[in-house]
Amino acid sequence: MTEVIEAPAAVKPIHHWIGGRSVPGKSGRSGPVWNPATGEQTGAVDFATVDEVDAAVAAAKEAFASWRSVSLSKRLDLFFKIRHLVYEHREDIARFLTAEHGKVLSDALGEVQRGLEVIEYACGIPTLLKSEYSEQVSTGIDVYSIRQPLGVVAGITPFNFPAMVPMWMWAPAIACGNTFVLKPSEKDPSASLYTAELLKEAGLPDGVFNVVMGDKVAVDRILEHPDVSAVSFVGSTPIAKYVYETGTSHGKRIQALGGAKNHMVVLPDADLDMAADAAVSAAYGSAGERCMAVSVVVALESVADELVGKIKERLPNVKIGPGLEPENEMGPLITREHRDRVASYIDGARDQGAEVVADGRELKVDGDGFFLGVSLIDNVTPEMDCYRDEIFGPVLSVVRAKTYDEAVKLVNDNPYGNGVAIFTRDGGAAREFEFSVNAGMVGVNVPIPVPVAYYSFGGWKNSLFGDSHIYGPEGIHFYTRGKVVTRRWPDPATSKIDLGFPQTR
Ligand code: NAD
């Protein structure tokens, strides 16, 4: 079994998973996997060649013929087993996340839970694939629709949710009858291999779920491979756009979820303590490395000073340190380079005229981990880099708006449109906000409005390329295609030669 390595004696090699077994890579290329809490390299992950991607796709293609024919009741039975095994091993999975991503164990368990919910949704596959039937559309003729799997589908996933985002993809894809090739982030790949082992233990046939490790070489081969029918991607906006454009130009169905800059608008009538708690939780949870993190608070001017004061007074209480120590609430960032890039925004903001209320660089944690404390920047304006860029770290900007309309305009002018939240006690204002705001997921007094598994997740604008949101009903739709059957049975009473265009009778 794949093992968690927290303090390595030697660097662990991390291989591909093809056709139901671990396959060492032959490219001679690999990438480092770090324990961000210690700064030590714990693993070296193989980077696939084109041939290795082809081998994974070939294994998936071979498995598809029989997997698509497995009855819905057998698929359901298998998904209950998968659900049970993932639940039973949720802490093992979470430990991989803490070891390689750095998020604290309680947060890692939360990630696994939100993935499990999508596996549970996929257990409903017999109901989810039910279609429509119209009897007697013409004399003796019935029509019905069916949804069929696409074939081999692939998932390309980001570093920040190494278990949950793959689950959002493979669970509905496989339940629909497809076979799957996953290309996880090269930064924290072990949870994907462990998942492969659990799926095999549950009884999933070899070749239905494959993992290729790697970088752009693997991604590009997936995007152009003629036997890959569809690709789900989650990652940064430039790569999401590239994946969408390249994949669609090769005739594939693509859903590509990109980056975010999520705003939290606080109206004067809001419960300011609730809003401050929410801002701290949503900005600094998982060290801000969440696509649904709140990175901008838009405070109406009359309450801005009070709100900033309430956020500031909460910051010293945020416990930061290694994710395995249960008292900690926030861990390190993913790599040293990313930590340094995030930190550079603090001076940048000051130089551009913002006020640094809290500077995360003042945090000292023993050892060589990639830690950065929480930063709060006030009086940010829309042209500043800390407002324009997705920082993806524990840095919260506060923009002050004179009016509600100015606040909404700020949200709607932003090129991203993933999540957004409003804090208010005014139902009418909240309703108007839901109606006007250009974002895919809206929270009312809820800072991170990730939809439950039976709705679908996705943003607007530069946060999503393609038509389909991920998981939920749109996920089932994405991984299947429609077919409509018009049928009659031999009946001498209705049979005659008629060369005209078919009409209902
Ligand atoms: P990333 O775009 O760097 O990487 C995502 C995937 O693309 C990885 O598997 C990576 O190996 C691959 N990749 C990277 N560079 C590539 C290239 N040049 N060509 C082809 N493939 C390439 O993203 P990340 O840093 O791993 O993840 C963080 C980003 O993901 C943030 O922008 C975050 O907002 C976004 N994200 C979005 C959502 C969402 O639901 N919208 C969810 C999670 C993360």
Question: Is the CB of residue 178 less than 8 Å from the CB of residue 479?
Answer: yes
Question: Is the CB of residue 266 less than 8 Å from the CB of residue 297?
Answer: yes
Question: Is the CB of residue 270 less than 8 Å from the CB of residue 303?
Answer: yes
3-class DSSP state for residue 166? helix
State residue 491's pLDDT score: 80
Backbone angles phi, psi at 295, to 5 degrees: -110, -10
Which 8-state DSSP code applies to residue 392? -
Summarize the chain as % helix, strand, coil (round to 5): 40, 25, 35
Distance CA 458, CA 477 (A): 14
State residue 323's pLDDT score: 98
* CA distances in angstroms from 41 to 68, 103, 335, listed in the order given: 41, 17, 11
Question: Is the CB of residue 470 less than 8 Å from the CB of residue 456?
Answer: yes
* CA distances in angstroms from 152 to 78, 173, 174, 191, 446, listed in the order given: 19, 9, 10, 22, 37
**How much distance in Å is there from the Cα of 158 to the middle of ligand 1?**
4
**How much distance in Å is there from the Cα of 234 to the middle of ligand 1?**
6
Distance CA 456, CA 440 (A): 10
**How much distance in Å is there from the Cα of 84 to the middle of ligand 1?**
30
**How much distance in Å is there from the Cα of 93 to the middle of ligand 1?**
21
Question: For the sheet containing 179-183, what is the strand order?
Answer: 21-23, 16-18, 209-211, 179-183, 152-156, 228-234, 253-257, 464-465
Residues with CB under 6 A from ligand 1: 156-161, 165, 183, 185-186, 215-216, 219, 234-236, 239, 257-260, 291, 390, 392, 418, 459, 463
State residue 495's pLDDT score: 76
pLDDT in tens, 104-114: 999 999 999 99
**From the alpha carbon of 238, which atom of ligand 1 is closest?**
2
Backbone angles phi, psi at 266, to 5 degrees: -115, 115
Whose Cα sits closest to atom 35 in ligand 1?
235
Question: For the sheet containing 141-149, what is the strand order?
Answer: 133-138, 141-149, 480-488
Nearest to 209 by CA among 174, 162, 253, 163: 174
**Look-up of token digits 């001076």:** 347
Q: What is the pTM of this model?
A: 0.96
- 390: Cβ–Cβ under 8 A, 6 or more apart, which residues? 236, 237, 259, 260, 261, 295, 416
pLDDT in tens, 475-504: 999 999 999 999 999 887 767 888 888 877
Testing ligand 1's pocket by substitution, the residue of 234, 257, 333 carrying the most ligand atoms inside 8 A of its CB is: 234
State residue 494's pLDDT score: 66
Question: Is the CB of residue 211 less than 8 Å from the CB of residue 192?
Answer: yes
Looking at the DSSP assignment, which residues form a beta bridge with residue 14? 45
Q: Which residues of the chain have pLDDT under 70?
A: 1, 3-9, 494, 505
Residue 442 token pair? 């809206």
Distance CA 416, CA 263 (A): 10
Testing ligand 1's pocket by substitution, the residue of 30, 103, 160, 462 carrying the most ligand atoms inside 8 A of its CB is: 160
**How much distance in Å is there from the Cα of 236 to the middle of ligand 1?**
4
Helix (H) or strand (E) holding 172: helix 164-175
State residue 10's pLDDT score: 80
Helices (H), 352-463: 385-388, 404-413, 427-436
- The verdict on whether 176 is a catalytic residue reads no
Distance CA 202, CA 80 (A): 9
